[in-house]
Amino acid sequence: MEYPIFDLPFFGGSLLIAAIAIPHVFIAQFSVGASFLLALAERRANREGDSETRAFLKTYAFTVLLVPYVLGAMTGVGIWFATSVASPRAISSMIHLFVWGWAAEWTMFIVDIVAIYLYVYTWDRIRPSAHNAIGWILAVSSTVTLVLINGILSFMLTPGSWEPLAPYGFWKAFFNPSFWPTTLMRFFVSLALAGAVALLLMALMRTVPAAVREKMTRLAYRMMLPALACLVLLPWAFSVIPERSQQFIQGGAIAMTLFFAMGMACFSLLALGTILAMVRREWNPSVLGASLLIFFAFVGYACFEFVREGARKPYVIEGFMYSTGVTTEKGQALDKRASLAVLREKGVLSAASWVLPLGRTIAELTPEEKGYAVFKAACLACHQVYAGYNAVQPLIGGWTRETLRSYLDTMHEQRPMMPPFPGTDAEKDALAAYMATLTRRGK
């Protein structure tokens, strides 16, 4: 609408966001768990005067915590870049709705960054108890960042009783219906990841003494076990998402169904693997075993994120804003420019300043050119044209212009993942004319 259109060939904006967001979340979450593992293990090692364990923890902090931390911060900036160019209106709304939430998040993030650098660089340079205190500051501040960001993210799928402009909106939005199950799940997965990575590190380091190995392996298993709760937390989260999204997962959209099932399977395997290793008193896991556990955690997690993003279609903020940035009746009071009601009256092109060919006005365009402009404003968020992410041309092979035109009247009823057409009848005519040129090309 009021922002330039981002047209990433083939992949589309949503895949770009996913490609950056999934590794980011994985790395960021790992560092939350890793800081707990370090703080806990260091406290015990200090109490027992165990310098061998401290030496292992130092390697853990320097190799597997610091590097991901830097990568996590970089991919975090990447997410802001990708979401701001791909869904600028959604990002703008989220920034406005959660002003203090973001402020708190960024403050915590600074505490977090300072703490990790102090933690790494003061190792063996200050009193062990003071060093461990920095570790706890790191563990707590990184957990708070996880909780804050998840309050904001979970709101997008389940706003619950939140209403724009109504009192206590921030709190209702933040403590939304899926806040607890998803926050707990993220926290438990983060602990599990840190545990599994410790196992891998030990498997790779032949020099770790047997006593340290056993102690750390026991701790790692204890950190991985709570991930078992995901098998309850996921169904809990499922029970509070909108009915439409539940139907996608229950077979309405086959990709969602598969990914949800795969996510559950991966978390089950992660829990099962941990329990089995504990029962067998396996204090010396192999590189393969540890890598498999990390793999299950990663794939399970990626599936969960994919379903979370996919199941909220056609909305980017449930019931409030469609993926295209157009707002619903609920958003109307806050949005004078591109609510569905305004666009239906004035046309989507009236608000989408950036979709017209450079230097031309609407009046100068042919119907097909106008139709392509409408496509960019109303469809490009979810469809590439010829090939790639959900490309539309292969979907409409053989459709006539009349079929296309009447489809636009009921697109949201035919496919519940699509928003209603945002624009005038004349714009529907133009879009149908443009799409008809695609089907000819396809033959």
Distances (CA, A) of 113 to 62, 70, 72, 74, 137: 14, 9, 11, 13, 11
- Which residue is associated with the tokens 């040129």? 437
Token digits for 349? 């092109």
For the bound state, the minimum distance from the C-beta of residue 22 to ligand HEC, rounded and expressed in Å, comes to 19
Contact present, 108 and 144 (Cβ < 8 Å)? yes
Stretch that binds ligand HEC, among 126-134, 293-301, 333-341, 417-425 (CB under 6 A): 417-425
Residue 321 is which amino acid? M
373 vs 354: CA distance, rounded Å: 9
Site map (CB under 6 A) of ligand HEC, residues 363-382, x = contact = ---------------xx-xx
For the bound state, the minimum distance from the C-beta of residue 407 to ligand HEC, rounded and expressed in Å, comes to 6
Close Cβ partners of 222 (under 8 Å, ≥ 6 residues apart): 195
**140 versus 341: smaller Cβ distance to ligand HEC:** 341
**58 versus 344: smaller Cβ distance to ligand HEC:** 344
418 binds ligand HEC (CB under 6 A): yes
For the bound state, the minimum distance from the C-beta of residue 68 to ligand HEC, rounded and expressed in Å, comes to 33
Binding to ligand HEC (CB under 6 A): which residues in 379-408? 379, 381-383, 390, 392, 395-396
251 binds ligand HEC (CB under 6 A): no
What's the N-to-C CA distance of the chain in angstroms? Answer: 33
Which candidate, 120, 287, 105, places its Cα nearest to that of 197? 287
Distances (CA, A) of 397 to 245, 382, 401, 439: 28, 18, 11, 5
For the bound state, the minimum distance from the C-beta of residue 387 to ligand HEC, rounded and expressed in Å, comes to 15
232 vs 308: CA distance, rounded Å: 17
**253 versus 356: smaller Cβ distance to ligand HEC:** 253
Binding to ligand HEC (CB under 6 A): which residues in 55-84? none
**13 versus 68: smaller Cβ distance to ligand HEC:** 13
* Choice from 421, 427, 430, 438 touching ligand HEC (CB under 6 A): 421
**21 versus 64: smaller Cβ distance to ligand HEC:** 21
For the bound state, the minimum distance from the C-beta of residue 414 to ligand HEC, rounded and expressed in Å, comes to 5
Burial classification of residue 415, based on how many CB atoms lie within 10 Å of its CB (0-12 exposed, 13-18 middle, 19 or more buried): middle
Please, how many CA atoms are within 13 Å of residue 202, restricted to the half-sphere of its CB? Answer: 30
Token digits for 379? 């469809």
**177 versus 314: smaller Cβ distance to ligand HEC:** 314
Q: What angle do CA 335, 434, 399 make, to 5 degrees?
A: 110
**9 versus 209: smaller Cβ distance to ligand HEC:** 9
Close Cβ partners of 180 (under 8 Å, ≥ 6 residues apart): 236
Cis peptide, bond prior to residue 4, ω within 30 of zero: no
**167 versus 398: smaller Cβ distance to ligand HEC:** 398
435 vs 421: CA distance, rounded Å: 14
**101 versus 419: smaller Cβ distance to ligand HEC:** 419
* Choice from 417, 433, 436, 438 touching ligand HEC (CB under 6 A): 417
Token digits for 281? 């008193």
* Choice from 358, 414, 440, 443 touching ligand HEC (CB under 6 A): 414
For the bound state, the minimum distance from the C-beta of residue 85 to ligand HEC, rounded and expressed in Å, comes to 17
**299 versus 382: smaller Cβ distance to ligand HEC:** 382
- Which residue is associated with the tokens 């960001």? 149
For the bound state, the minimum distance from the C-beta of residue 310 to ligand HEC, rounded and expressed in Å, comes to 8
426 binds ligand HEC (CB under 6 A): no
**49 versus 398: smaller Cβ distance to ligand HEC:** 398
How many residues line the site for ligand HEC (CB under 6 A)?
A: 21
Binding to ligand HEC (CB under 6 A): which residues in 307-326? 313-314, 323-324
Q: How many CB atoms lie within 10 A of CB 363?
A: 6
For the bound state, the minimum distance from the C-beta of residue 378 to ligand HEC, rounded and expressed in Å, comes to 4
441 vs 98: CA distance, rounded Å: 46
Largest CA distance in the chain: 80
For the bound state, the minimum distance from the C-beta of residue 181 to ligand HEC, rounded and expressed in Å, comes to 25
Name the site residues for ligand HEC (rule: CB under 6 A): 253, 313-314, 323-324, 378-379, 381-383, 390, 392, 395-396, 411, 414-415, 417-419, 421
